[in-house]
Chains A and B, each alone.
Chain A
Amino acid sequence: MAYSSWTTSFPEEVLEHVFSFLSSDKDRNAVSVVCKSWYEIERWCRRRIFIGNCYAVSPRMVIQRFPEVRSVELKGKPHFADFNLVPEGWGGYVCPWIAAMAEAYPWLEEIRLKRMVISDDTLELISKSFKNFKVLVLSSCEGFSTDGLAAIAGNCRNLRELDLRESEVEDVSGHWLSHFPDTCTSLVSLNIACLGSEVSFSALERLVSRSPNLRTLRLNRAVPLEKLPILLRRAPQLVELGIGSYSAEIRPDVFSNLAEAFSMCKHLKGLSGFWDIVPGYLPAVYSICSNITSLNLSYATVPSPDQIKLISQCHSLQRLWVLDYIEDTGLEILARSCKDLQELRVFPSDPYGAEANVSLTEQGLVSVSEGCPKLRSVLYFCRRMSNAALLAIAKNCPNFICFRLCIIEPRAPDYLTLEPLDAGFGAIVEYCKELRRLSLSGLLTDRVFEYIGTHGKKLEMLSVAFAGDSDLGLHHVLSGCESLRKLEIRDCPFGDKALLANAAKLETMRSLWMSSCLVSFGACKLLGQKLPRLNVEVIDERGPPDSRPENCPVEKLYIYRTVAGPRFDMPPFVWTMDEDEGLRFS
């Protein structure tokens, strides 16, 4: 059957050229499974690969299929690891990947890791294996020290980006920074905000001076405020700045020095850091406020009206991360001043306190939703919420892509009516048709899941805690949310039924996390047996699951699809339910 495709006359280079204009991984992945010829062409010209779960595929398979990769992004632990729900030692080791790539991809340029464990040895291996290495981003990673960083600094001649966002780094010494050779002038981005101890300031200053392309500089807390102008004068071309400590004795000369240095940074668009903020120094940045599009004040733990004054001058603001010190009044001012706002995150200053320490309620969010028509992404901590407020927010912002609401007290009802918040969240999913990410909180019954299953057709990630009444809730989500990729659940009365009834769904998702729920060991075994393309991991620190009756619920369950089979690097408290034996010990 001669198939006259309209692209059969294309020489390979032309198709490659077409593919080169596809920027998203999704599109590249789609193209690669269209037909045999496209599969072949695409795999040879694939330069960038994103692997959302490092255990879903093996390094060998990736290398075999895509021989010319230049940029790799890997994610390891599940998201709930951020809340210490994943015990230490669970996994996410990047070493096998680096070892394999060191041989197969000598021209690798970029490595981006999230929630993975990387050792100093591995960092050294990276620094020595890839001659043209340019970008290293370690997001929420751990397992390494400043010695590993020294190796990267010292050996990577063309390094452009070194970004350690929120990683846990063992601080052996601040001298690692001096390992950047004098010949290294290629830095574009340096983020050391997570480092605890001091780095050698003179080394930092010299590094900044000889990096004319430096666009992003995020300092750690140990860099004192008085020294900031020195760096700013060396790098007036900065676009993103993470200020270190923002506290010092208020002295007029320090202030004027600072203000002048800031005024020279005409390209500055993003500010972060601001530890130990001393309000008196905030006006030093006023001169550049009108250019600021991104502001992160979530580390500014001192409440101050000056913060609000600062925010109100940032008329171009698109992204704001702030503590709840901003209160409802501050959010009202935000709503009036920053009409371009797209993303808002409000973090709690005192989440463990029994009583509210600030006057931040649902009203603040309602104000912002009314005043900022471009609002698309919200993360909001508060202590009370009502269905009416949620309905208003949903109607004001039908373009939400991400909505994460965290009412601090679990199972808190609508504070006005004492009813569950089902209707409110239902309104969110109904009005926000493009919603991709949702986090629930408050008092919720199975009904909210019915709404989500019915309306959340584009929902890709859902986080649930202390919600629902029965398996029906989980069933609604699994059977209704067509685009669901990641589902994470804790402390909900969901058991075996919904999971088993929707077992096939799990193969279409990246992963499912369930902890402190009611899924039995027997069901886990069954899933593992039935679906060979899933890894069903039981995480239980009480000991082997078969030492308890089969109907006993497991502590934690992590299910993810994979074509690499069960992994072999599991710690003693993790068991994989395998088809062959029903129970595999690592």
Chain B
Amino acid sequence: MSEGPMAVVKPEMKSYIWLQTADGSIQQVEEEVAMFCPMICREVLQTGMGSSKNYAISLPQRVSPAIFGLVLDYCRFHQVPGHSNKERKTFDEKFIRLDTKILCELTSAADSLQLRPLVDLTSRALARIIEGKTPEEIRETFHLPDDLTEEEKLEPLRNLTDDPRIRLLNRLYARKRKELREREKIKNFEVEEEQLVDKRSVDDLLSFINGGDEESKGVKAAKNKKKNRRRKDLATHSSSNNGNANHIKEPNCLPSSCHNGDVDNVSSPSKNSTFQDSASPVFSPKLEFDDGDVDDELDPAMKEELDREVEDFARRLNSVWPERMHEILSLGQERRPVPVSLNGNGAMKRCTDVDSR
């Protein structure tokens, strides 16, 4: 029997290290297996603990008995010097076929025991689980909360209190109001007190409508030197003339048309956005308006008309599109455009470098 802090190993006798897991239970483990964990090894060498039940080494919190069993399986195999690399690899591949939850616990345990090879093995396995998944899928797999806001995901430049949607809506409504007012003026030749709104916004609108460029910025001179452009394209001769008869006539598109409705999550530039089908509202995102924010002193009748007009227009636009589609789909296949004699098409460039993407 060993008496000192270090177990003396006689060839015919096996030595054990005593270990205590976080739940309080104590077990003994073959010395060579336990010492494979650097943390345990250090404890034994520095403090002399682990030689008997009363002096069991306390394992870190993150090592539960079940998980420790797995760690020991790993250590038991790998501490044997005789295995070939191939055998070790095969063992590892089988070893990590575990539940994601168990795998996480194992990673954590291995880390706390400073068992580097096992940390690497489990980390790689976790990475492979993560690969190819969407954020939502990753959340599900690892039981993670969805606690990022849309703004955090997108990192907008603007101040969050200066919501662009509200500003946009203000503008659109203000413009629409102005147009209605003009029409009223022409009809009634009178200006009601209540229709006087903030002069500034009307001025803004006027300049906007007249294509004001009060903010024209200086043009940054391009630092391009004139040089012979190496011909990269292959056939881009004359551009086609656009005076085609195919031009589609738009209904007079009023930019102020938009929907009353609830705020939709403004489509984030992620692949998970749902797309609207052709029958759904033409314009998106749907915008919410908060009456308090719109700087109006409109008389309610005016406002009502405004809303009606907006809705009406949106409906018209929506109804035309499905009709037209149907029309086109029901036509035969023998549509042939007028051949235009042009050389070249969107030919592709070639690269000298085989590696280029």
| Residues in chain A within 8 A of chain B (CB atoms) | 3-7, 9-11, 13-14, 17-22, 24, 27, 30-31, 33-36, 38-39, 57-58, 61, 65, 80, 82-85, 88-89, 93, 114, 117, 119, 139, 142-143, 163, 165-166, 168, 170, 191, 193-194, 216, 218, 240, 242, 270, 272-273, 294-296, 298-299, 319, 321, 345, 347-348, 351-352, 379, 381, 404, 406-411, 420, 439, 441, 443, 445-447, 463-466, 469-472, 475, 479, 482-483, 488, 490-491, 493, 495-497, 500-505, 507-508, 515-516, 518, 520, 522-523, 525-526, 529-533, 546, 551, 553, 561, 563-565, 568-572, 579-586
- Which single residue of chain A is at the shortest CB-CB distance from B107? A14
> Which residues of A have CB within 8 Å of B147?
35-36
Does B181 have its Cβ within 8 Å of any Cβ on chain A?
Answer: no
CB of B211, distance to nearest CB on chain A (Å): 5
CB of B15, distance to nearest CB on chain A (Å): 32
Given A493-B246, A529-B172, A4-B143 contact (CB < 8 Å): yes
Instruction: Give the residue of B100, B156, B165, B224 whose beta carbon is less than 8 angstroms from that of A88.
Output: B224
CB of B206, distance to nearest CB on chain A (Å): 12
Given A500-B283, A584-B215, A166-B353 contact (CB < 8 Å): yes
Instruction: Give the residue of A410, A482, A525 whose beta carbon is less than 8 angstroms from that of B345.
Output: A410
Instruction: Please state if A17 and B271 are interface contacts (CB–CB under 8 Å).
Output: no
| Residues in chain B within 8 A of chain A (CB atoms) | 62, 100-101, 104-105, 107-108, 111, 119-120, 123-124, 126-128, 130-135, 138-139, 142-148, 152-158, 164-165, 167-168, 171-172, 208, 211-213, 215-217, 219-220, 222-225, 227, 229-230, 232-236, 239-240, 242, 244, 246-250, 253, 255, 266-271, 273, 275-278, 282-285, 321, 324-325, 328-329, 333, 335-337, 339-340, 342-357
Instruction: Please state if A193 and B233 are interface contacts (CB–CB under 8 Å).
Output: no
Instruction: Give the residue of A85, A439, A505 whose beta carbon is less than 8 angstroms from that of B348.
Output: A439
- Which single residue of chain A is at the shortest CB-CB distance from B109? A9
Instruction: Please state if B242 and A165 are interface contacts (CB–CB under 8 Å).
Output: no
Alpha-carbon gap, A21 to B107, bound state (A): 14
Instruction: Please state if B111 and A469 are interface contacts (CB–CB under 8 Å).
Output: no
> Which residues of B have CB within 8 Å of A85?
236
Of B147, B158, B284, B321, most A-chain CB atoms within 10 Å: B284
Alpha-carbon gap, A471 to B234, bound state (A): 28
Instruction: Please state if B354 and A296 are interface contacts (CB–CB under 8 Å).
Output: yes
Instruction: Please state if B352 and A165 are interface contacts (CB–CB under 8 Å).
Output: yes
> Which residues of A have CB within 8 Å of B217?
568, 585-586
Instruction: Please state if A35 and B139 are interface contacts (CB–CB under 8 Å).
Output: yes
Instruction: Give the residue of B132, B154, B229, B340 whose beta carbon is less than 8 angstroms from that of A84.
Output: B229
Instruction: Please state if A18 and B347 are interface contacts (CB–CB under 8 Å).
Output: no
Instruction: Please state if B138 and A34 are interface contacts (CB–CB under 8 Å).
Output: yes
> Which residues of B have CB within 8 Å of A39?
148, 152
12 new A-B contacts at CB < 8 Å, known A30-B134, A33-B270: A3-B144, A33-B153, A82-B232, A193-B352, A298-B350, A407-B345, A466-B345, A472-B329, A497-B248, A504-B273, A520-B250, A563-B156
A-B contact pairs, 28 of them (CB 8 A): A10-B108, A30-B134, A30-B135, A58-B157, A82-B233, A83-B232, A84-B233, A163-B353, A166-B353, A168-B227, A240-B354, A272-B352, A299-B352, A319-B354, A406-B345, A410-B340, A420-B336, A466-B345, A475-B325, A501-B321, A507-B267, A515-B239, A529-B168, A529-B255, A532-B165, A532-B168, A585-B213, A586-B216
Given A508-B271, A551-B250, A586-B217, A35-B353 contact (CB < 8 Å): no
Instruction: Please state if A408 and B123 are interface contacts (CB–CB under 8 Å).
Output: no
Instruction: Give the residue of B139, B144, B253 whose beta carbon is less than 8 angstroms from that of A522.
Output: B253
> Which residues of A have CB within 8 Å of B223?
93, 117, 119, 143
> Which residues of B have CB within 8 Å of A500?
282-283
Instruction: Give the residue of B107, B120, B154 whose beta carbon is less than 8 angstroms from that of A563.
Output: B154
Instruction: Give the residue of A3, A83, A507, A520 whose beta carbon is less than 8 angstroms from that of B349.
Output: A83
> Which residues of B have CB within 8 Å of A170?
225, 227
Instruction: Please state if A585 and B216 are interface contacts (CB–CB under 8 Å).
Output: yes
Instruction: Please state if A10 and B104 are interface contacts (CB–CB under 8 Å).
Output: yes
Alpha-carbon gap, A216 to B107, bound state (A): 40
Given A6-B100, A165-B351, A35-B255 contact (CB < 8 Å): no
> Which residues of A have CB within 8 Å of B134?
30
Instruction: Please state if A321 and B236 are interface contacts (CB–CB under 8 Å).
Output: no
Given A472-B328, A505-B275, A321-B100 contact (CB < 8 Å): no
Alpha-carbon gap, A463 to B111, bound state (A): 50
Alpha-carbon gap, A11 to B146, bound state (A): 20
Alpha-carbon gap, A484 to B110, bound state (A): 42
Alpha-carbon gap, A33 to B270, bound state (A): 11
> Which residues of A have CB within 8 Å of B346?
80, 83, 406, 439, 441, 463-466, 488, 490-491
Given A470-B328, A518-B247, A379-B348 contact (CB < 8 Å): yes
Alpha-carbon gap, A170 to B225, bound state (A): 9
Instruction: Give the residue of A61, A240, A579 whose beta carbon is less than 8 angstroms from that of B168.
Output: A579
Alpha-carbon gap, A518 to B244, bound state (A): 9
Alpha-carbon gap, A586 to B216, bound state (A): 6
- Which single residue of chain A is at the shortest CB-CB distance from B352? A193
> Which residues of B have CB within 8 Å of A5?
142-145
Alpha-carbon gap, A488 to B347, bound state (A): 12
CB of A43, distance to nearest CB on chain B (Å): 11
Instruction: Please state if A406 and B248 are interface contacts (CB–CB under 8 Å).
Output: no
Given A82-B232, A516-B240, A30-B133 contact (CB < 8 Å): yes
Instruction: Please state if B127 and A9 are interface contacts (CB–CB under 8 Å).
Output: no
